[in-house]
Amino acid sequence: MNLSQLDNTASTEKPIKLLVVAPGSVYSTFDTYRYYLDAFDRIEGVTASGFAFHNVIEYHRLGRVAMEEKQGIIYGSEASDIVRAVRELLLEIILNKPDALFFIDGTKIPPALFKNIRMIEDEMNRNVLLSCYMTEAPYINDVLDGYQNYFDVLFFNDLEEVKRRNYDGGFFMEYLPHSFSPLVHYPYPVDEQFSPDVFFCGTLFPERANILAEVDWSGINAFICGPTGLAYEEDIQIIDRYGVLHQHTLPNKEVSEYYRGAKICINMNRTYGWDKSLTELSIPKDLAYSVGPRVIEAAACGAFIVSEPRPELQNIFGDSIPTFTNGRELETLIRYYLEREDERMEKARQSTLAVQSMTYDARAGLVVDTLQSALSKFGGK
C-alpha cells in the first residue's frame, strides 16, 4: 500500500459542500461511489457526505417483506421502495443544503427525481448544482441521451463520448478516467490462497462468455468469476465443464487479492448494453475508446494482464499488456506467458508504473475544480 499516493494537501478555491449519491447497484459502481467519497474527504475545503441510494431501497424492501410475512398484508412493491428512497434523498437535500450533487451513474435513478430537486430548490430560492459521473458510456447511449438534459455538469468514462456529445464546447463535460484506490489496490503482499494461474472477474456479457468458451482450459488452473445470466447457456456449459467457472460476484477487496496473486489476469472489454430500454443491446467494438476500470485496478495491484485491445490501452500501457481478439489468441497468450515468468514480471512492473497517477484522489481534484467553475458560472448558492 502506497499511502503517499493519497493526496491530503489538495484544496479548493472556495469551500464547497458536496453530496455524493450512490448508484442503484451494490458492486462495481458502488465501489466507485465509496472511493470517491473517501477521496473528497481528503480535499481541504470540501465537506462531503454520501447517500447510498441502493442501500436505502434495500432497507425499505427488507422492512416491507418482514411486515408482509408477519401480517400477511401486501405493503407495497419495488416501485414503492424506490419512491421512499427518492423522498429520503430529497429530504437530505433540503436539510443538508449542499452546493452540488455528484451522482454516480444516475441512470438507475428515476428521472422525476431531478425535476423534483429543481422544483424544491426554486421554492427555497437556492441553486444546487446537479452533476453526474456517467460510468456506462457508450454502452447505453439511448438512456444517456435522455438523462443528459437533467444535469449542469457531466463527467464521462470514455474520452470519445465527451468529444461526440460536446463537439462545440457548449456544455460542462469532462472526461473522467477510471481510477484506483491505493488503500485497496497495491502490489504486495501476495496471499497464496488467491493465486490461480489465470483470473478473470466481471459480468459475463455474451461477447465475453463467447471468448472464454473458445479457450481449452485443460491443464490451466483458472478462476473465472462473475454473473452469467446474460450469457448464452451453451457458452456457460462449455466453460463450466472445465471446473473453472464460479457464478457469483466478489467484493472489490477480494478481487484485488486475486489481481495480486494470479499469474495472469484477463481484461475483456464490453459491448453489451443490458438496459431493457435500449433499441440496440450491443455497440460496435470500435465505438469505445477508453479502458475500463478493472484494467487500471489490476495494474495497480501489480498484475500481469492480457487484454482485448482499445485505443487508450496502448496509449497508457504501451506494449506491457499483450492483446487478443478471440479465444484462440487468448489461449495462446496464456500458455505462452505461463512458461515465461521473467517476461510476465517485467511487463507487470511496467503496467504498475503506468497507472501511478490514476488515483481517486487525483480524479476527485478534477471533479471539484470543474464543479467550482460551474458554480461560478451558474451563480452558486
Question: pLDDT band at 161, cuts 50/70/90?
Answer: very high
**Strands 44-51 and 11-21, sheet pairing:** parallel
Q: What is the pLDDT of residues 27-52, one digit of tens each?
A: 678 899 999 999 999 999 999 999 99
- β-pair partners for 104: 133
What pLDDT sits at residue 112?
A: 85
- Provide the 8-state DSSP code for 245: E
Q: Are 347 and 263 in contact (CB under 8 A)?
A: no
What pLDDT sits at residue 269?
A: 94
What pLDDT sits at residue 149?
A: 84
Take residue 125 and report the three cell numbers written for it.
Answer: 430560492
Question: What is the C-alpha to C-alpha distance for residues 243 and 247, in angstroms, rounded to an integer?
Answer: 11
User: What are the structural domains, with CATH classification, of the chain?
Assistant: 3-179+359-378 (3.40.50.2000), 192-354 (3.40.50.2000)
Q: What is the pLDDT of residues 335-380, one digit of tens each?
A: 999 999 999 999 999 999 999 999 999 999 999 999 999 998 876 5
Residue 323 CA from chain centroid, whole number: 22
Question: What is the C-alpha to C-alpha distance for residues 302 and 150, in angstroms, rounded to an integer?
Answer: 40
In terms of Cα–Cα distance, which of 110, 162, 115 is closest to 134? 162
What pLDDT sits at residue 377?
A: 83
The whole-number average pLDDT for the span 265-275 is 88
> Would you call 202 helix, strand, or coil by DSSP?
coil
Instruction: Decide if pLDDT at 9 tops 50.
Output: no
Q: What is the secondary structure of 30-63 as a DSSP string? A: HHHHHHHHHHHHTSEEEEEEEE-HHHHHHHHHHH
What pLDDT sits at residue 381?
A: 46
Indicate yes or no: pTM above 0.75.
Answer: yes
The 3 state secondary structure assigned to 147-198 is HHHHCCEEEECCHHHHHHHCCCCCCEEEECCCCECCCCCCCCCCCHHHCCCE
Q: What is the pLDDT of residues 309-335, one digit of tens each?
A: 999 999 999 999 999 999 999 999 999
For cell 490514476, what's the residue?
Answer: 358
> Measured at the alpha carbon of residue 48, what is the angle toward residues 92 and 368, in degrees to the nearest 5?
120
In terms of Cα–Cα distance, which of 340, 336, 294 is closest to 313? 294
Q: Which residues of 324-362 are buried (b: 16+ CB within 10 A; e: fewer)?
A: beeeebbbebbeebbeeeeebeebbebbbebbeebbbbb
Q: Are 47 and 15 in contact (CB under 8 A)?
A: yes
What pLDDT sits at residue 286?
A: 82
> Would you call 13 helix, strand, or coil by DSSP?
strand
Take residue 165 and report the three cell numbers written for it.
Answer: 456529445
Mean pLDDT of the chain: 90
What pLDDT sits at residue 282?
A: 84
Measured between alpha carbons, how far is residue 39 from residues 36, 235, 306, 368 in Å?
Answer: 5, 40, 29, 11
> For residue 198, which phi and psi values (nearest 5 degrees)?
-135, 140
- Provide the 8-state DSSP code for 107: G
Q: Give the list of residues 6+ apart from residue 158 with CB closer than 8 angstroms, or none.
A: 137, 138, 175, 288, 289, 290
What pLDDT sits at residue 12?
A: 57
Q: What is the secondary structure of 109-130 as a DSSP string? A: S-THHHHHHHHHHHHTT--PEE
In terms of Cα–Cα distance, which of 348, 41, 371, 317 is closest to 183? 41
Question: What is the C-alpha to C-alpha distance for residues 128 and 101, in angstroms, rounded to an integer?
Answer: 7
